[in-house]
Amino acid sequence: MTEHSPVTPIAAPTLTDWDVQRGEHDRLNAELRPTNKAVVFDALTAAGLTIVTVRFDGYGDSGQIEDIEAKAGAEVVALQPGNVEIAAAVWGHAEPERTVRSVRDADRAACLRFSRGNPRRLGKQRRRLWRLHL
C-alpha cells in the first residue's frame, strides 16, 4: 500500500526592487536596440559601405576590438568621420541617456550589441570576427 503525504505548496518568489529595476533596464535597452541599430546601419550605408568587418580578441568579461575594416564593394576604405546619436538605458532612470558618438565608436557598439554573438558570452573562444553586410 502506498502512503501519500500532503504536499505543501511553495509560494512563488517575490520580486525584489533590484529584480524590478533590472527588468525595466533590460526592457528599455531592448526597446532602444532597433532604433540604435538603424541609426548606425544608416550611417554606414550613407557612407557607401557594403561590408564592415570587426575583429575581436578576448573571452569572458575581457577583450577588445582589434581592428575594423570597411569596404565599399571590393575596395577597402576608411571609415568616414561623422557622428550618430545613440540612446542607452541608465540604471534607475526611466528615460534613456543620449550620447553622440563617432561612427567608428558606434560601429564597435553595433557589433557588441546588435549582432547575434556577444563576445562576453563566448566562453573560451578568443577570437571573434563579425561581418556586417549592409
Backbone torsions φ then ψ of 112, nearest 5 degrees: -75, -35
- Do 119 and 129 form a contact (C-beta atoms < 8 A)? no
Q: How far apart are alpha carbons 8 and 74 in whole angstroms?
A: 67
Percentage of residues of the chain with pLDDT beyond 90: 15
- Asked whether the predicted pLDDT for residue 58 surpasses 60, the reply is yes
- Do 86 and 77 form a contact (C-beta atoms < 8 A)? no
Element (H, E) at 44: helix 17-46
Average pLDDT over residues 78-107: 86
- Do 41 and 70 form a contact (C-beta atoms < 8 A)? no
What pLDDT does residue 133 have? Answer: 66
> Which range is most confident: 22-26, 81-85, 122-126?
22-26
What pLDDT does residue 17 have? Answer: 87
Write b or e for each residue in 125-134: b if 16 or more Cβ atoms lie within 10 A of its Cβ, otherwise e.
eeebebebeb
What pLDDT does residue 113 have? Answer: 60
What pLDDT does residue 95 have? Answer: 93
User: pTM of the predicted model, to two decimals?
Assistant: 0.68
- Asked whether the predicted pLDDT for residue 130 surpasses 70, the reply is no
- Asked whether the predicted pLDDT for residue 117 surpasses 60, the reply is no
Axis-axis angle for helices 103-113, 17-46 (nearest 10): 130
Q: How far apart are alpha carbons 88 and 133 in whole angstroms?
A: 24
Sketch the domain layout of the chain as residue ranges: 18-118+125-133
Q: How far apart are alpha carbons 70 and 20 in whole angstroms?
A: 41
